[in-house]
């Protein structure tokens, strides 16, 4: 299979989130992405493996213009400029829930755009509006007196089974109040650059109206804030209505029990390999309830989602949304029977479809990059093909709150305690004659130990004597030691300040797009 070396290399590294602000992670290096995408496309576009009776290569040829046409229409509805849908150059895809995500996730979107523009390809971001948020809001730092702490402001709350796509935009009053609260918190620190960023974002967002939903409002706000970037946008709810996605889903539904067995097997293998002890990670097993098999899809009904179950009765395939019967279809009917079913892909089904049927290269964050090793196993096992390679990109950006982070002083205090305990002779400014005698004795013992002429018994005795001298001399520093430990205790109580100062999940609207562009500039230099 063409590009096999690329594919093998994409599953080996242990992806790690950068720890320090201003660091970005990318695998493989961005300079390899264009070749990787072309290798993936060349391999996938000649595969004859069938999806509901149609070769995968043909499904890809049908999916691309269908999805890009839908993305162009979506961009137009949002007032955005998107790339022309007819181009055949590499299609680079990413996606995330439509919320106030952190700059590391934002980098995925902007790097997809940059790579597409520099290689003549097309970038596409998918808003995963089929997930359920329960709460939508943003983290922000706040200063109270001399203390810094992390606070969370909520914009919207919804019921647990209501997905993003069914959430109305906030009222103008609620939106303005939310932005005002974020501003008020920032003003206590203060953080002028973050406040300027938030102000610019709020101005480009405008005022929400009841004619739009939350996803369209926030997506349009983010895209206007980013400036004129031509990468495409498409909500997953709209992607799910495409014929290519229905065909992919029907292929899985037609062999649901087998697919679920493969799915659960590779989840178990992942948990064993990475010593994951909870059955909910990276996502739950597919359940078998009586004679109904759960599959990795949702069905949307009355603005709420329910898990999809499939039941085979001879040649009849029965679909259920949770306990509710939805559809009976002949097994030979094909994907057209799903036309009126509001089917939505869950995590693995969505990324498997995107990687196999649509993208030439899919870009994950670190979490998705780890979890998609399960998808790799399912693709190999269920479809019988080598999975296309994917890329991983992320970054860490902190707000400029270093002055509030006591980590450095905490380390200084830790070193001071060790000095008092192990080298008190260096810290006594004016030793008494008795203390000076102990200092001289300790130095002589150290010289003897370093000389190597002592027996094992003599070495143990010398080491023990040095400990006794240290303890004796340290008594003269009791007051300082007590003070240092009290300051350490105060820092432990003030751990919230460190958490707030080094928080990675502050929303993208507190940062400038230029800050992320600079990280991408650095990534583009790697490997050149």
Rounded alpha-carbon distances, angstroms, from residue 2 to 41, 245, 265? 9, 25, 28
- Nearest Cα to Cα of residue 189 among 152, 155, 150, 154: 150
Q: Are residues 8 and 124 in the same domain?
A: yes
Q: 7-21, 212-226, 431-445: which range is least confident on average?
A: 7-21
Q: Are residues 110 and 195 in the same domain?
A: no
- What is the full DSSP assignment across 69-118? HHHHHHHHHHT-----TT--S-EEEEEE-SS---HHHHHHHHHHHHHHHH
| Full domain range(s) for residue 472 | 407-493
The Cβ-side half-sphere exposure at 2, using a 13 Å CA radius, reads 13
- Residue 295, domain member (yes or no): no
pLDDT of residue 163: 97
Q: Which tokens hold the place of 50?
A: 């069938």
Q: Are residues 177 and 195 in the same domain?
A: yes
Report whether 447 contacts 459 (CB < 8 A).
Answer: no
Q: Are residues 489 and 520 in the same domain?
A: no
Alpha-carbon distance of 302 to 93, in angstroms, equals 30
pLDDT of residue 9: 35
Q: Are residues 230 and 246 in the same domain?
A: no
- 310: DSSP letter: E
Q: 5-9, 182-186, 202-206, 308-312: which range is least confident on average?
A: 5-9
- Residue 125, domain member (yes or no): yes
pLDDT of residue 1: 31
- Residue 325, domain member (yes or no): no
Alpha-carbon distance of 236 to 344, in angstroms, equals 8
The predicted-structure confidence for 179-213, as pLDDT tens digits, reads as follows 999 999 999 998 999 999 999 999 999 999 877 89
- Residue 261, domain member (yes or no): yes
Q: Is residue 365 pLDDT above 60, yes or no? A: yes
**509 contacts: CB under 8 Å, gap ≥ 6:** 100, 138, 197, 198, 201, 202, 222, 225
Q: Are residues 379 and 485 in the same domain?
A: no
- 357: DSSP letter: I
pLDDT of residue 10: 40
Alpha-carbon distance of 67 to 171, in angstroms, equals 31
List strand residue ranges (DSSP E) for 432-512, in order.
none
- Residue 503, domain member (yes or no): no
- Residue 274, domain member (yes or no): yes
Q: Are residues 372 and 474 in the same domain?
A: no
**141 contacts: CB under 8 Å, gap ≥ 6:** 148, 149, 150, 151, 185, 186, 189, 191, 399, 401, 500, 501, 503, 506
Q: Are residues 394 and 277 in the same domain?
A: yes
Q: Are residues 227 and 107 in the same domain?
A: no
pLDDT tier at 363 (50, 70, 90 boundaries)?
very high
Its sign, for the CA torsion 519, 523, 526, 528, is negative
Q: 60-74, 261-275, 438-452, 511-525: which range is least confident on average?
A: 438-452
Its sign, for the CA torsion 510, 512, 516, 518, is negative
Q: Is residue 8 pLDDT above 50, yes or no? A: no
- Nearest Cα to Cα of residue 355 among 91, 28, 8: 91
Q: Which tokens hold the place of 293?
A: 């098999």
Question: Which H or E run contains 347?
Answer: helix 347-353
Q: What are phi and psi of 126, to 5 degrees?
A: -105, 120
The predicted-structure confidence for 44-61, as pLDDT tens digits, reads as follows 999 999 999 999 999 999
Q: Which tokens hold the place of 348?
A: 């693995």
- Residue 154, domain member (yes or no): yes
Report whether 337 contacts 326 (CB < 8 A).
Answer: no
Q: Which tokens hold the place of 307?
A: 């898990």
Q: Are residues 250 and 373 in the same domain?
A: yes
CA angle 247/248/254 to nearest 5° reads 85
Q: Are residues 246 and 386 in the same domain?
A: yes
pLDDT of residue 491: 63
pLDDT tier at 3 (50, 70, 90 boundaries)?
very low
- What is the full DSSP assignment across 389-416? PEEEEEEE---S-GGG-THHHHHHHHHH
The predicted-structure confidence for 98-148, as pLDDT tens digits, reads as follows 999 999 999 999 999 999 999 999 999 999 999 999 999 999 999 988 788
- Residue 207, domain member (yes or no): yes
- Bridge partner residues of 124 (DSSP): 93, 232
Rounded alpha-carbon distances, angstroms, from residue 187 to 43, 193, 234, 397? 54, 11, 36, 20
Q: Is residue 14 pLDDT above 90, yes or no? A: no
Its sign, for the CA torsion 371, 376, 377, 379, is positive
Q: 37-51, 140-154, 158-172, 477-491: which range is least confident on average?
A: 477-491
- Bridge partner residues of 161 (DSSP): none
State the average pLDDT over residues 15-27.
Answer: 93
pLDDT tier at 408 (50, 70, 90 boundaries)?
low
The Cβ of residue 514 has, within 10 Å, a number of other Cβ atoms equal to: 9
- Overall domain count for the chain: 3
Q: In the predicted model, what is the mean pLDDT of the chain? A: 91
The predicted-structure confidence for 431-475, as pLDDT tens digits, reads as follows 899 999 998 998 998 888 888 888 888 888 988 999 999 999 989
Q: Are residues 140 and 193 in the same domain?
A: yes
Q: Which tokens hold the place of 214?
A: 């939350």
Q: 84-93, 272-281, 282-291, 304-313: which range is least confident on average?
A: 84-93
pLDDT tier at 4 (50, 70, 90 boundaries)?
very low
Rounded alpha-carbon distances, angstroms, from residue 18 to 274, 411, 456, 514? 20, 21, 47, 19
- 383: DSSP letter: I
The predicted-structure confidence for 272-300, as pLDDT tens digits, reads as follows 998 998 888 999 999 998 799 999 999 99
pLDDT of residue 193: 96
- Residue given tokens 């939310």 in the structure block: 178
pLDDT of residue 492: 62
């Amino acid at each position: 299979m063409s590009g096999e070396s690329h594919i093998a290399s994409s599953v080996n590294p242990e992806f790690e989130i950068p720890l320090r602000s201003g660091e970005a992670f990318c695998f493989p290096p961005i300079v390899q992405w264009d070749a990787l995408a072309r290798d993936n496309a060349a391999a996938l576009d000649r595969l004859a493996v069938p999806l509901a009776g149609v070769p995968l290569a043909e499904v890809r040829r049908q999916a691309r213009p269908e999805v890009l046409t839908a993305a162009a229409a979506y961009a137009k509805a949002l007032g955005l400029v998107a790339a022309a849908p007819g181009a055949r150059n590499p299609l680079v895809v990413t996606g995330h829930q439509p919320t106030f995500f952190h700059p590391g996730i934002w980098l995925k979107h902007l790097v997809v755009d940059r790579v597409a523009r520099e290689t003549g390809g097309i970038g596409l971001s998918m808003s995963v509006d089929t997930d359920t948020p329960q709460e939508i809001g943003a983290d922000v730092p706040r200063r109270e007196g001399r203390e810094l702490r992390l606070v969370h402001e909520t914009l919207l709350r919804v019921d647990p089974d209501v997905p993003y796509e069914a959430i109305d935009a906030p009222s103008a009053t609620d939106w303005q109040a939310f932005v005002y609260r974020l501003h008020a918190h920032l003003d206590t620190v203060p953080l002028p650059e973050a406040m300027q960023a938030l102000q610019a974002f709020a101005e480009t967002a405008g005022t929400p109206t009841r004619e739009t939903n939350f996803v369209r409002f926030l997506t349009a706000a983010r895209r206007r804030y980013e400036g004129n970037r031509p990468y495409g946008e498409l909500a997953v709810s709209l992607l799910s209505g495409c014929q290519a996605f229905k065909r992919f889903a029907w292929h899985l539904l037609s062999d649901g029990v087998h697919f679920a067995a493969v799915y659960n097997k590779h989840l178990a293998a992942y948990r064993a390999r990475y010593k994951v002890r909870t059955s909910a990670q990276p996502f739950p097993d597919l359940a078998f309830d009586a004679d109904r098999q759960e599959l990795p899809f949702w069905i949307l009904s009355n603005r709420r989602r329910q898990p999809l179950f499939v039941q085979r009765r001879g040649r009849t395939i029965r679909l259920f949304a949770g306990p509710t019967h939805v559809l009976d279809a002949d097994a030979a009917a094909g994907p057209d029977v799903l036309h009126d079913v509001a089917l939505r892909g869950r995590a693995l089904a969505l990324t498997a479809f995107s990687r196999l049927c649509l993208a030439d290269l899919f870009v994950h964050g670190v979490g998705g990059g780890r979890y998609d090793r399960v998808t790799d196993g399912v693709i190999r096992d269920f479809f019988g093909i080598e999975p296309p390679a994917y890329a991983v990109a992320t970054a860490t950006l902190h707000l400029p709150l270093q002055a509030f982070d006591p980590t450095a002083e905490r380390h200084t205090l830790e070193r001071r305690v060790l000095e008092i305990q192990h080298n008190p002779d260096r810290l006594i400014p004016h030793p008494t004659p008795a203390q000076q005698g102990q200092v001289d004795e300790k130095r002589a013992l150290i010289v003897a130990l370093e000389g190597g002429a002592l027996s094992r018994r003599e070495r143990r005795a010398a080491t023990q004597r040095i400990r006794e001298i240290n303890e004796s001399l340290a008594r003269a520093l009791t007051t300082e030691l007590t003070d240092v430990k009290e300051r350490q205790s105060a820092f432990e109580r003030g751990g919230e300040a460190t958490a707030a100062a080094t928080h990675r999940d502050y929303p993208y609207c507190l940062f400038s797009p230029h800050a992320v562009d600079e990280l991408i500039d650095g990534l583009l230099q790697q490997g050149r």
